[in-house]
Amino acid sequence: MSESAVRIRDLVVYRGGALVLDGIDLDVAPGTVTGLVGPSGSGKTTLLRCVVGVQKIKSGRVTVLGRPAGTAALRHEVSYLTQSPTVYGDLTVEENVRHFAALYRRSKRDAAIVIERVGLSPKSRQLVRKLSGGQQTRANLACALVAAPRMLVLDEPTVGQDPLLRRELWTHFHNIARAEGTTIVVSSHVMDEAARCDRILLMRTGKIIADDTPEMIRKETQTDDLDEAFLRLIEAPVAVPQV
């Protein structure tokens, strides 16, 4: 069995004095698309920040590609897409993506390819600050993709995108996972997107309440509706150990 691309053990995180992640244990297989799904405030973004090594933790271990999360050697191997665009507003889409391409020793052609993949070729010469919010997210995604990393960590990458582009992006995520062995961890609060993942991590109030394939989660909860499956998992009675 291949070594896990991400391995987390007994992870505890507090933010502002409040418990946000409560003893998380999980493994992410390499070359897969794993969906981190749950309502707002469940701890998804904090968990992703732990994976990329930018979150202070109380206790536990987070290993990424065989190294402690945040290790300098991972900087060119892990790309992180945040919810808020981090591209430069006073540069064009093309200038932004070429800038990140140069940082990762990728070519101008690589930059053009990812701009096309995210549907921004017609806007490539436009200043990012003049784009819509959804277009800025796509520009941000292009900057993450151009690095051709071993791991992509994506926080709500399809929010505000039209259905056709969402479908194309998910197809691209699976293509690079299969063809290039890229490990992708992507958060979402939309259950129909979770169905597109190889594996789903369902989160609620800082805990993982399910970790399985979409098919097995449906089977376990005896419903084809993943929204209903999530509700049934939340409402399932907790077993009390016998004394």
pLDDT in tens, the chain (243 residues): 358 999 999 999 999 999 999 999 999 999 999 999 988 889 999 999 999 999 999 999 999 999 999 999 998 899 998 887 789 999 999 999 999 999 989 999 999 999 998 899 999 999 999 998 888 988 998 999 999 899 999 998 887 788 888 888 888 899 999 988 999 999 988 888 888 999 999 999 999 999 999 999 999 999 999 889 988 888 875 444 444
**pTM of the complete model:** 0.87
Q: How many Å apart are CA 198 and CA 5, to the nearest integer? A: 14
CA distances, 48 to each of 35, 44, 54, 80, 110 (Å)? 11, 6, 9, 9, 26
pLDDT at 241: 41
Amino acid at 106: R
pLDDT at 240: 40
Q: Using alpha carbons, select from 180, 216, 201 the residue that is nearest to residue 51.
A: 201
> Rounded to 5 degrees, what are φ and ψ at 212?
-165, 180
Amino acid at 131: L
Pure H helices in 83-195: 93-103, 108-117, 133-145, 163-180, 191-194
Q: Are 61 and 107 in contact (CB under 8 A)?
A: no
Q: How many Å apart are CA 57 and CA 20, to the nearest integer? A: 10
